[in-house]
């Protein structure tokens, strides 16, 4: 009998704690949508494009030079002796190595900078969510992707978009 009373008491405590938690204010946010709709995203994309424009042009020129060199060598191959062919192959290998090195460095630098800017934007989104959470007295904010169904009244995505767009 004592065990039954203790079990009932423990069950009542668990139910009370669950009900207390359920009364907290909850909201949902779609951070991917916020990220996609940030006006700063296009500005940053253009800044990065301008930042790497000269290096992109350089890599494109190297690619075109290599293509032109190969075409010329194919036309002249019949008239070249073995040492000229070897020299042409050596030059082509050097051109390819330079192209690969510059293209790889460009892609790594571009990816690094894009990641830096993405982190800044995500930090700004988190700051907006924190501000809204404090202003509305929210206890819990859940990512939209983790929820199967949510009432539109609990979705703060548009508020976050407005906040980060300022």
Domain spans of the chain, in order of start:
24-164
* Tokens at 42, concatenated: 């296009």
- pTM (predicted TM-score): 0.71
Percent of the chain with pLDDT over 90: 75
Residue 58 has pLDDT above 50, yes or no: yes
Residue 147 has pLDDT above 70, yes or no: yes
Residue with tokens 């290096």: 55
Instruction: Enumerate residues 6+ apart whose C-beta is below 8 A from 26.
Output: 138, 139, 140, 141, 142, 154
**Band (145; pLDDT cuts 50, 70, 90):** very high
pLDDT tens digits for 127-136? Answer: 999 999 999 9
Sorting pLDDT into bands at 50, 70 and 90, what band is 78?
confident
Tokens representing 44? Answer: 């940053």
Which residue matches tokens 């890599």?
A: 59
- Assign a CATH topology to domain 24-164: Protein Binding, DinI Protein; Chain A (3.30.910)
pLDDT at 45: 93
């Amino acid at each position: 009998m004592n065990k039954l009373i203790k079990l009932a008491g423990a069950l009542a405590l668990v139910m009370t704690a669950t009900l207390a938690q359920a009364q907290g204010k909850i909201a949902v946010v779609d951070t991917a949508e916020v990220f996609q709709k940030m006006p700063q995203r296009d500005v940053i994309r253009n800044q990065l494009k301008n930042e790497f424009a000269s290096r992109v042009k350089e890599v494109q020129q190297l690619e075109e030079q290599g293509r032109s060199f190969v075409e010329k060598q194919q036309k002249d191959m019949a008239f070249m002796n073995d040492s000229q062919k070897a020299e042409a192959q050596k030059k082509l290998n050097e051109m390819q190595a330079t192209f690969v090195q510059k293209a790889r460095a460009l892609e790594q630098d571009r990816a690094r900078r894009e990641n830096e800017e993405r982190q800044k934007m995500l930090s700004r989104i988190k700051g907006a969510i924190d501000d809204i959470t404090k202003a509305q007295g929210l206890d819990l904010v859940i990512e939209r992707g983790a929820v199967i169904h949510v009432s539109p009244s609990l979705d703060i995505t548009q508020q976050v978009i407005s906040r980060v767009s300022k």
